[in-house]
């Protein structure tokens, strides 16, 4: 069975849903950000502080090469994972991608209490974060929308989203 890639903006629930889905399907689970943290023995914030975003994107590309060798794995991708290095094209050839879609306003609300560990937002002043999220989502969404499937999560709870994902992947 193909790997399943959960894509979307930070705070869209990819990691939480990915863990639960992997238990339901009896698949392995990989959180790309956690794997990069483990490999570098530092948090994403520390990586961005000590290196730069291009270093981080190269780490994502390197990790993808490892992931492509695996099967039956649910992958929770970082928010920018599919936006660089033609990664979306690669994962679509080697798995199923599912975009967990939320509006920028809803993402702002979801992220409001938890900016720690999110270096791109953490450095933005509080009064400018909502606008920043909206602009960044606008830039990234064209990549997210290339996914095999899009789930509009706005009015769905976690169980509804899991059922939708299960339904989509059981038909492929």
Angle at 151 between CA 137 and CA 63, to 5 degrees: 65
The residues spanned by each domain of the chain are: 3-170
CA 145/CA 12 separation, integer angstroms? 14
Calculate ∠ Cα 88-23-20, nearest 5°: 65
Q: Which CATH superfamily is domain 3-170 in?
A: P-loop containing nucleotide triphosphate hydrolases (3.40.50.300)
Residue 75 in tokens: 């992958």
Q: What is the model's pTM?
A: 0.92
Give 42-89 pLDDT, tens digit per residue.
Answer: 998 889 889 988 999 999 999 999 999 999 999 999 999 999 989 999
């Amino acid at each position: 069975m193909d790997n399943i890639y959960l894509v979307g903006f930070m705070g869209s629930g990819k990691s939480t849903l990915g863990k639960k889905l992997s238990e339901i399907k009896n698949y392995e689970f990989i959180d790309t950000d956690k794997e990069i943290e483990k490999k570098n023995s530092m948090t994403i914030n520390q990586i961005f502080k000590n290196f730069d975003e291009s270093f981080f994107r190269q780490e994502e590309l390197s990790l993808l090469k490892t992931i492509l060798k695996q099967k039956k794995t649910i992958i929770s991708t970082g928010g920018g994972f599919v936006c660089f290095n033609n990664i979306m094209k690669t994962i679509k050839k080697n798995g199923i991608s599912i975009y967990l879609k939320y509006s920028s306003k809803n993402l702002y609300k979801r992220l409001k209490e938890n900016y720690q560990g999110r270096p791109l937002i953490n450095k933005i002043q509080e009064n400018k974060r909502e606008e920043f999220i909206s602009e960044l989502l606008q830039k990234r969404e064209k990549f997210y929308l290339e996914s095999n499937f899009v789930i509009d999560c706005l009015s769905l709870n976690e169980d509804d989203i899991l059922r939708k994902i299960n339904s989509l992947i059981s038909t492929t």
